[in-house]
With several copies, the nearest count.
Chain A
Amino acid sequence: MIEFRAVTKRFEDGTIAVDELDLTVEAGTITVFVGPSGCGKTTSLRMVNRMIDPTSGTILVDGRDVLTVDPPTLRRGIGYVIQQAGLFPHRTVLDNVATVPLLSGWDKRRARTRAAELLEIVGLDPAFGKRYPAQLSGGQQQRVGVARALAADPPVLLMDEPFSAVDPVVREDLQNELLRLQAELDKTIVFVTHDIDEALKLGERVAVFRKGGHLAQYAKPQELLSAPANDFVASFVGRDRGYRTLTFLHADVPVHPVATAKLGERITVADWTLVVDEQNRPKGWLSGVDGEVEVGEDDLVSGGSLYDGSSLRGALDAALSSPSALGVVVDDAGAVTGVVKADDVIQALAKARAAGEVPK
């Protein structure tokens, strides 16, 4: 657990980067600091491992005032993933990852074994261990950065815009990787970003900062969306708040049966019919026509997104994107189990609201 108690940081030139911050990061969760550029996210983060010391106030990590701990010792117990990885260019990937264990006095062999394990954990082939950072792609470097921070198995992990240097596709991979890792490792993670989508995706709780180092809101993501504390948060969280709120609702939506047909079959199609393959996986829609037709590839209207039962958002999008207005529901194997309707989603939302599941 990390507690900020009335923490203020004023730099020598008078800039107040963080202003009377009070905030508690729960153990075992990912907490995201988000806000526009220059709002004090990095400064707040770096006060935790004493890369910066606060002007006033107290920061406790697991109940201990960080100012009472010698900084290098403190830092060895706190993983720190820096923007653009910040790897040591002169060391191999393996030695980069082994840094903290070696600093903490592990013997070389053990540190390296551990480092090799970690490379696997973050999804890198151990063969990369012998390369130098310059020989890796941006996304691979980020993974090494995460592995390095995890090496000494610290209970606390600080991550400062760790994924900002990679393109959106790789970024999504890394985010999913982080969520998978956290499910296994259960660290206390503080994650800084200025990308609200990333914050909403990763954060169990999100702290929205605004210029001047003020905490504008500290809440669960769904709460930010449905009940932004003020105009700043509302505008920062951006449009689509209502739609995004659905991400966090997992209420049941009724799944309706749907008429299906296989390619090559001869059928009469009165209404929209879902064409599937041998494994019952969706191929596309056939719109209603008069009389009997043979189902051919060319007649198919391709299909809209699929709904895998994850959240109301997926259900609504499946329905909205489907030419038949029916969202295709699939199981884990990708086989069709039925369809959902947009109306049902809207009713499910209303029900969830009434049940108080949507924060106000």
Chain B
Amino acid sequence: MTWILENWERFWEVTAVHLRLSIVPVLAGFALSIPLGWFASRSAKARAVLFPLANVLFTIPSIALIVITPILIGVKILDEINVIVPLVIYTVALMVRSVSDALAAVPGNVIAAANAMGYRPLRRFLTVDFPLALPVTIAGLRVATVSNISMVSVGALVGLGGYGQLFTEGYQTDHTEKVLAGLIGTVVLAVLADGLLLLIGRLLTPWARAGR
């Protein structure tokens, strides 16, 4: 802890990087997984393709993905996009299933009621299906966010990792405190983000706690 206090500025700096590197992929991945998850919830064939694919993508070691990405998409080796793209892939791999499950769990009679009242598909999705899928989706998003925050550190391999920097440095100088500082930072960030999402989820789904 003393390291954090003594090097507040540096700690703050890596925190900012870490935060950016984890929030961007979460948002992008979440946005991508909504249409994909919707598709999966509708079609068994789509599920049969998307879910195993997500599993396989998820198992590609992050180091490999981070190093290969610039070769594949042709950006500069030190660009943050090299960390962001793999993390987006992981986020989508995690979230497709959550979104699909969440949508599939929307009660059938509610959907039938919406159809019967004359909702057209897009509007129904935006105002009925998706809001009702939110609690489960947000539970998935919490996991994805936390995983992202934890995984960003791998980016230190290419000089980008936020707290990951502290791990490498601490490690090379046999400086446990520095590693701990990064660890604490990561966990605190994750817990805060998790709590924030929990809170947002509650604000967005006031009905979920209505009644008993």
A residues near B, CB below 8 A? 49, 51, 71-76, 78, 80, 82-84, 86-91, 99-100, 103-104, 131-135, 148, 158
Query: Which of chain A's residues have a CB closer than 8 A to the CB of B132?
Result: 88-90
Complex Cα distance, B118 from A78, in Å, reads 9
Which label, helix, strand, loop or mixed, suits the secondary structure of the A interface?
mixed
Query: Which of chain B's residues have a CB closer than 8 A to the CB of A83?
Result: 109
Complex Cα distance, B206 from A73, in Å, reads 31
Query: Which of chain A's residues have a CB closer than 8 A to the CB of B119?
Result: 72, 103
Contact between A75 and B207 (Cβ–Cβ < 8 Å)?
no
By beta carbon, the residue of chain B nearest A73 is: B118
Contact between A89 and B113 (Cβ–Cβ < 8 Å)?
no
Contact between A86 and B112 (Cβ–Cβ < 8 Å)?
yes
Complex Cα distance, B118 from A73, in Å, reads 6
Chain A CB within 8 A of B131 CB: yes
Q: Sorted from nearest, which 7 A-B pairs have the closest CB atoms? A: A134-B211, A86-B113, A132-B210, A76-B118, A80-B116, A75-B118, A86-B109
Query: Which of chain A's residues have a CB closer than 8 A to the CB of B206?
Result: 132
Contact between A132 and B207 (Cβ–Cβ < 8 Å)?
yes
Query: Which of chain A's residues have a CB closer than 8 A to the CB of B205?
Result: 90
Contact between B113 and A87 (Cβ–Cβ < 8 Å)?
yes
> Which of A72, A73, A88 contacts B110, CB < 8 Å?
A88
Contact between A86 and B110 (Cβ–Cβ < 8 Å)?
yes
Q: Beta-carbon contacts of B125-168 to A below 8 Å, as 1s and 0s?
A: 00010011000000000000000000000000000000000000
Query: Which of chain A's residues have a CB closer than 8 A to the CB of B113?
Result: 80, 82, 86-88
Contact between A99 and B117 (Cβ–Cβ < 8 Å)?
yes
Contact between B210 and A131 (Cβ–Cβ < 8 Å)?
yes
Complex Cα distance, B131 from A99, in Å, reads 15
Contact between B112 and A51 (Cβ–Cβ < 8 Å)?
yes
> Which of B118, B123, B131, B207 contacts A74, CB < 8 Å?
B118
Chain A CB within 8 A of B176 CB: no
Q: Which of B115, B117, B205 has the most chain A CB within a 10 Å cutoff?
A: B117
Complex Cα distance, B128 from A148, in Å, reads 15
Query: Which of chain B's residues have a CB closer than 8 A to the CB of A131?
Result: 210
Contact between B210 and A134 (Cβ–Cβ < 8 Å)?
yes
Contacts A90-B207, A91-B207 given; does A75 touch B112 at CB 8 Å: no
Chain A CB within 8 A of B114 CB: yes
Since A134-B207, A148-B117 are in contact, a sample of 7 more A-B pairs with Cβ atoms closer than 8 Å, ordered by chain A residue number, is A71-B115, A71-B118, A74-B118, A87-B113, A91-B207, A103-B117, A103-B123
Query: Which of chain A's residues have a CB closer than 8 A to the CB of B45?
Result: none
By beta carbon, the residue of chain A nearest B135 is: A90
Chain A CB within 8 A of B76 CB: no
> Which of B114, B116, B210, B211 contacts A88, CB < 8 Å?
B114
Complex Cα distance, B85 from A244, in Å, reads 74
Query: Which of chain B's residues have a CB closer than 8 A to the CB of A71?
Result: 115, 118
